Every structure is written in structure tokens, then in C-alpha cells.
Structure 1
Amino acid sequence: MTVVCRDKLRRGGTAALEIGAVAALYYGSGKLGLLQQIVRGQVTPLWPPTGIALAGLLLLGPRVWPGIALGAFLINVSPGPSVPAAMAITMGNTVALLASYALLRRAGFRTRMNRLRDTLALVFLGAFTGMLISATVGSSTLFLAQALPAGRFWPTWWIWWTGDAMGVLVVAPVLLVLSSARRPKDTPASRWGEALLLATATIGVCILENAPVPLMFLAFPLLTWAAFRFQHAGATPCALAVSTFAVLAATRGTGPFAGHTLLTDMISLQAFNGAAALTALLLSSAITERNETQEKIEQACSRLSEMVTRTAPDTGGLPTLPDGEGGEEGNDGSPDDRDTS
């Protein structure tokens, strides 16, 4: 009995720590996301907490949902407009993430994202579909609380939805990759050099995103390089970096986002971020799936070769007669003619 109680207490303590960690990460990342707010101090074009929360659900299970709800409430209660409105927005955020988690589990999603179907599920079910709930509930709550003019409802809804979806697409994959990361062994120095070169190039592209010359398209060769050579381990951090710096440029109105209206900048920003995330995830998954398929084919060929070697008849000890020799053959190799009379 004592052992059972102790085991229950240990599991309960672990669950409480996980819930507290998710709440703290949600709140902390939310504060960072609000630094680039666009509408009412609580709508931003990139909302990292959705990615952190969904990764927490996928890695730890649905038991951490109270941490998501607590973090969401603490983030939304200060900008208001009221406590009931903050509770409604919190409910929308929590339900949206639980719906995304349920859809991904129903689709057989693997956190390794080693199949193309995993990436498609994360994009279309986890990000695009699930975040419809949070954007609709949040925008409607602000409108009903008279904190949002009717003319700004749809722009706010668009920014809310794309911001939540981008959080799933660029933040969650990085955390999922980190959860399964292992210390590389016997990695050649050339590989480390290439990784350092990729990191340097990423920094350079991020700086150019804030330059007056529109050079944001340079991110796509970079993402292609990262996906082909390093798969998710290289492509997902690159996608997070270029998307973050694009958000900084858009919210400050610098670089290619200077001199345009808010709606134009948001459409351009979300199109770029969406294309960058899709490029990184889809290419990485396709290359990973191809590599694993090739490895399985090579293993199957190796096993088949071993099987053939084991089952082949042993002819090494049988004597072989040279042509033209033998009691039944003549000098020309044909049987001797015999007088049968």
C-alpha cells in the first residue's frame, strides 16, 4: 500500500512539474511574442506559445492542458478588456490546441516527422485547421466586448489565425527535433564546417531581411541547402530564424516592408513565413523519408545476399573433367561408336 501511494505521489509530482513548466514557457514566450504585437497589445503575426504548447501536448500528453490554460489566462488578463473576455480567449486558445493534438493523433502523427504525411498533417491539421478555433473565438470575444471595431474584425482575425499557425509551423518542429536529438558520434570535421557555414549564412540572410534592398528570397536557397544536407535538424532552426527576422522587419516597417499599409505588410509577411515553413518542413520530410527508404532497401539486399550465400549448393569438392577426356567420349568429344552386332 505504501509503495502504491508513493508511486502515485511521484507521478502526481511529475505531472505538476510538467504543467508548471508548460505554463511558464507559454507565459514567457507569450511575453516575447507580444513585443511585436499589431492589434490591442495581444495580436501578433508570430505567436510562439502555440508551438510550445502543441509540442508539450505531443511529447507529454494531454495531461498538461491546465498549464496551457494557466499560461494563456495570465497572458490575456492584463491587456483585457475584462476578466470574462480573458477567460473566453483562454478557452479558445486551449480548445484549439487540444483539437490540433486530437487531429494529429487521429492522423497517426509521429513526432520524428520522418514521413511526408507527418509534415502534411502538422501543416493542414495542427496549424491551419486547429488554429481556426483560437482566431475565431479570440476575435469574436474582442468584438463582442466592444474592444474591436467592426471594420477591423477580419484583419484582426487574419493576423490572429496566421500568427497562431506560424507558431505551430516554425516553433513546434524545432522543439520536436530537440526532443529526439542525440549527440553526434564520429562526425567528420567537414560536416561540422558545413554546419558552421550554414549558421553563418543564416545570420547573413536574416540581416539582409532588414536591408532596404528586397533580398528576402535568399532565404529559400538557404532552406533548401539546410533541408537536403541536414534535414529537420538544420532546416527547422533556419526557418525559425528567417521567420523571426521577417516579423521584426514587418512590425518595424523596415526593409521590404517599408512604405506599405499594415494589411499589405501582413499579407506579404505571412505569405513569406508560410512559404519558408512549408519549404523547410516538406523538403526535410521528403529527404528523410527517401534516405530511410534507401537504407531499408540496402539492408534488404544485404540480407538477401547473405541468404543466397547460405543456401547455395557447395560445389567446391566436385571434380571437373576437361573437355575431350573421359571413357565415354572420343577424341572429338563425342561418344565412341560401338559395334552392336
Structure 2
Amino acid sequence: MAADWNRARGVARFGFRVWPGIFVGAFVVNFWTTPGVFVSLGIATGNTLEALCAAWLINRFANGTNVFDRAQDVFKFSGIAAATTALSATIGVFTLTLTGHAQWSQFSGVWKTWWLGDFTGALIVAPLVVLWLLGRTRKWTKREMIEVTSLFALLIGLGLFVFSGWFPIGAKNYPISFLQGPIVIWMAFRFTPRETITGMFILTGMGIWGTLHGYGPFVMSDENQALMILDVRTVVTAITVLALSATISERDRIHDVLEHQKDEVESANRTKDNFLAMLSHELRT
């Protein structure tokens, strides 16, 4: 699921000529995990179309590989992700029902599970890969290193507190997932989208593990429904913090540009003043 968006990243970077490799890779993976050649071909077709459509739409409407630099592009990315993952889910579930691997009466439930899982993966894994491989690098001060390390340690500590089952409050499934929200928001304010989505990735992984093992606030008698609720929380949080982080980062970039322009103007003014002073001196002599 999230792998489709890594394929989309590959298309965005290397062009649409890589689509045969995407299709073959998707077919092999699906053939390895699902019975039947036809099923694998159908699902691989959906995976490939998802990646191609997502890459084209992001390049056309959402600033390409710089999609996470501005809040408006983050929202466009989210809409594109929702639409293209729905396409893949529709093709995949149709394939399963046509081949008898799922009942038509189950279509809606299977589709929602497929789409929501794929959409969540697109919002978590794709930004993580793009921002770490293609994102801008920055120089860290010692103070920033201490701060970001402390934030990640605190986030992991709260994740263990909520989802590990090591503490009574997590084992009893109290609704305390909100405890980690301020940490991720803090990351969005203080650092770049790369650090923010890394925190979300860690938080999501711990949430999935805890829910599957019966710990944390999302545990229900129906495991699939519990994971869907967790996915919804993850989607809402990811879009919010990515947009917030992009806004803060864009503000910082604009501030840096203005400071640079200010320095250039001041330098030009000093040069002008020196020239006028020299010219005035020459005229007097």
C-alpha cells in the first residue's frame, strides 16, 4: 500500500518510463502474497495506476517533489492521495470479488479497509521517504540537536506509556492518545516537515503495534474497526502537522530571503554613500 507511493516518488523523480518496473515489482509482490495470476495482475494494475496518477497529479498541481514545502501543496497532496488510493482500492477489491476471493456483500467493508490503510500509508510513508531522500538539508546547532533528541525521547516515552501495556493506564485502554499530540505539534513549530513526519511515523508504528496487541485507547472487540479508527486519527493528525510544519518552514524561508535582501540593500547603500563621499571630495579638490 504505502509502497505504491514510494513507486510514485520514483515516477516523479525518474519519469513515467519506469512504469514497467513498477508493474513487474507490484505483480511479483502480490503473486507472492495472493493466490492466482489474475488476482496479482489486477492488483498490480491498480498499484501501477495509483503510482502513475499520483505522480502526474503531484507534478502538475502540487509542486512535484517539493510538495511538502507549502501548506497549500500539502492539502493538494492529501486530496491526490485520497483519490488515487481510492482508485487502487477499487480495482483491487473488484479483482478479489470477480475471482471469488471476496463476496460482493463484503465489497464495501473490504474497500474501506483497503482504501483507509492505503491512504494512511500514503500520508505517513511517502512524506517520510521524500523528505529524507530529496528534502533540503540543514545545519543543526548543538542546542537544536539536544532539543530534537529530547523531543523524540519524550515522544517514544509517551508512546510506551500509552501503547506498550507496561503501565496500567495503557493496559486498561484509557482514552489518552491526545498526550502525544503536543509533542508532534512542538516538532512542527520548531523543526522542518522531515522531523515532524518522522515523529508521526514513530507514533503510528507504536499505535499499530499496541492496538494489535490489545493495548492503548483504540482497542475494540473488532480488531479491523480498531485499526480503522487509529488510521482516521493518524490521517487527521498527519495532515494537520504537515501543513503546520510547512507553514512555519515557509515563513522561515521567507524571513531568510528578506534578511538576505536587506543585507544586499544595506551593502548597496553603503557603496553608494562611499561613492558619493568620494565624488564630493573630488569635486571640492
What runs of 5+ residues in structure 1 fail to find an aligned partner? 1-46, 319-341
Higher helix share: 2
Match of residue 99 from structure 1: 53
Deviates more, 1:169-178 or 1:106-115: 106-115
Q: Secondary structure at the match of 1:53?
A: helix
Amino acid at match of 1:156: V
Residue 290 of structure 1: CA displacement?
0.6
Tell me: CA distance 1:282–1:181, structure 2 relative to 1, closer, same or farther (3 Å).
closer
Match of residue 196 from structure 1: 149
Whether the 8 Å contact between 2:8 and 2:55 is mirrored in structure 1 is yes
Tell me: CA distance 1:245–1:77, structure 2 relative to 1, closer, same or farther (3 Å).
same
Misfit runs of 4+, over 4 Å: 181-185, 315-318
Residue 294 of structure 1: CA displacement?
1.2
Matched, 1:121 2:84: no
Amino acid at match of 2:248: I
Matched, 1:250 2:211: yes
Matched, 1:162 2:116: yes
What runs of 5+ residues in structure 2 fail to find an aligned partner? 164-169
Whether the 8 Å contact between 2:208 and 2:227 is mirrored in structure 1 is no
Match of residue 166 from structure 2: none
Whether the 8 Å contact between 2:220 and 2:226 is mirrored in structure 1 is no
Q: Distance in 1 between matches of 2:159 and 2:106?
A: 31
Whether the 8 Å contact between 2:116 and 2:228 is mirrored in structure 1 is no
Once the two structures are superposed, the pairs formed by residues 229-308 of structure 1 within 5 Å of their partners are 229-262=190-223, 264-308=225-269
1:127-155 superposed Cα distances (whole Å, 9 cap, x missing partner): 11111110000111111112112332111
* Higher relative contact order, structure no. (Cα contacts within 8 Å, ≥ 6 residues apart): 2
Residue 94 of structure 1: CA displacement?
0.5
Once the two structures are superposed, the pairs formed by residues 103-182 of structure 1 within 5 Å of their partners are 103-112=57-66, 113-125=68-80, 127-180=81-134
Q: Which has the larger radius of gyration?
A: 1
Equivalenced residue count is 270
Amino acid at match of 2:73: D
Residue 177 of structure 1: CA displacement?
1.5
Q: CA RMSD in A?
A: 2.3
Residue identity over aligned pairs, in percent, reads 27
Residue 165 of structure 1: CA displacement?
1.4
Residue 242 of structure 1: CA displacement?
1.0
Tell me: CA distance 1:106–1:182, structure 2 relative to 1, closer, same or farther (3 Å).
closer
